[in-house]
Amino acid sequence: MTTHAPIKTPFEKWQDGLDKAVGDSRWNSYDDELKTAVSEFNQHLRSTTGYRQLDWLLIKAMLWTESGAASSQWATKPMQIGVPGDPGLASFLSDREGGELIMPPRWQGRLTIGTVRSMPTHNIRAGIGYLLMRMANFEFQSVLAADTDAILEVAIKPGDSLATIAKAQGSTPEIMKKLNPTSAMLRPGQILRFQKGSVQRVITGWRQITTNQIARRYNGGRDPRYANKLEYALSLLRK
């Protein structure tokens, strides 16, 4: 009687391919670049509220899941950000969703759609940046001007409101309320204190970076087994 080997699922076949990657130097070719890139982001974001140091092995597991050395994309787009149909790159580079706060200063303005699609060092940083942007919590808040901490004064004129004064003086109503807590009613001739400032987007906290969150917020649910693949790759790398 002939017995047949059980038919493997696509996920099991994928696991077999990853098992063969262990010890294959091609799959480790970005290690130094990943360590450097992750360190840059960690240094830049470490002072933000609730930030936890990113593990470079987690990003390597993403590379193994997203492409891998056997993929034609490995040499140019190992993180797969910027491939046709992917909105992540435009979202990250738009400066409308917080990407400008995530990117380390030395890389500000260096990443473009063209370089991210053709240079693996840029693709890796755009991928890490987009991941962190999707994990950050943002709010618009009043922020004091960085170039001065001087407290100034202004006299109220007839018809003035806190909003019109703040706009005219390059401040915000919130900053003025903090400096003038007893000025609920404004009177002409009254002197108000203010500091220069503006309303800006700021990072107020972070979601926990888990394989499920990465699958949902980075992969966007396109691959239903993404979290499982990421966990498997990470387990291989941590052994």
Enter the CATH code of domain 149-195. Answer: 3.10.350.10
Full-model pTM: 0.87
pLDDT at 184: 80
pLDDT at 149: 82
* Strands annotated E in the chain: 136-144, 152-155, 191-194, 197-206
Q: Please, are residues 206 and 52 in contact by the beta-carbon 8 Å criterion?
A: yes
Residue type, 34: L
**Segments making up each domain of the chain, as ranges:** 25-140+205-238, 149-195
Enter the CATH code of domain 25-140+205-238. Answer: 1.10.530
For residue 178, which of 142, 231, 203 has the smallest C-alpha distance?
142
For residue 49, which of 127, 138, 175, 131 has the smallest C-alpha distance?
138
Place of tokens 């990465």: 214
pLDDT at 148: 78
181: number of Cβ within 10 Å: 7
Q: Please, are residues 126 and 111 in contact by the beta-carbon 8 Å criterion?
A: yes
pLDDT at 89: 95
Helical axes 226-238 vs 56-66, angle rounded to 10°: 130
CATH topology identical between 25-140+205-238 and 149-195: no
pLDDT (tens digit, 0 to 9) for every residue of the chain, 239 residues total?
A: 555 567 889 999 999 999 999 989 999 999 999 999 999 999 999 999 999 999 999 999 999 999 999 999 999 999 999 998 889 999 999 989 999 999 999 999 899 999 999 999 999 999 999 999 999 999 999 999 988 789 999 999 999 999 999 999 999 999 999 999 988 889 999 999 999 999 999 999 999 999 999 999 999 888 999 999 999 999 999 98
Q: Is the dihedral of CA 144, 147, 151, 152 positive or negative?
A: negative
